[in-house]
Amino acid sequence: MNYEKLEKNIVDVIKEQQAKLGYMREKVRLYYPLSSLNHFFGTEEDAAGMMGILENFRVVVKDRLGDVKISGKDRRFCILIPEEGADYIHGLAGERDFITELIALVREHGCTIGQIRELFEAYSDKVHFEKIDNAEFDYMLRFEDDPQDKYVYCFKDEGCHMTYHRFLPEDYEEFGF
């Protein structure tokens, strides 16, 4: 079983959290629906089968993320990353990285989709940009050629500021935006 996608997502989510809220040595709980976990592993497991996969994941990442705890209820799972895992991830954060710059930009009053698009293009010549028309979001951007950032970023223009959410490509498709 390849656990790289899930581990990368955990690292990405905690890096994003630390960029938004600041670093603090603390436990972090991340919640995943069964469907997202199946996307990571390319499986179609039920809840019991996924619990087995996640128990093995704990062993695989212990040297990096510490003594990860797994719990689940129905089709929803909690992955608890201990303090030493948060420390490890904090040590991976660079001075300049895309998510940190995106968060800083979106925090600015009056941020525009043009500025956001420019930021994406500063990191890659191949950026997919799309105006979308649904109740949730106005724009979708993603890197077309970055194996380290496969996320789909969706933005909503709230008038005086922008909000965003990033999705795994499979989750984005499943939601049907």
Domains and CATH numbers, the chain: 4-92 (3.30.56), 98-175 (no CATH)
Lookup: tokens for 147: 């194996």
Tell me the C-alpha distance between 59 and 114, whole Å.
Answer: 44
Torsional class of 31: left (φ above 0), alpha (ψ -120 to 50), beta (otherwise)? beta
pLDDT at position 57 is 98
pTM of the model: 0.89
pLDDT band of residue 95 (cuts 50, 70, 90) is low
Residue 141 CB-density burial (10 A; 0-12 exposed, 13-18 middle, 19+ buried): buried
The identity of residue 143, as a single letter, is: F
pLDDT band of residue 135 (cuts 50, 70, 90) is confident
Lookup: tokens for 35: 């469907």
Whether 54 and 61 have beta carbons less than 8 Å apart is answered as: no
For range 39-47, the mean pLDDT:
96
Longest pairwise C-alpha distance within the chain: 47
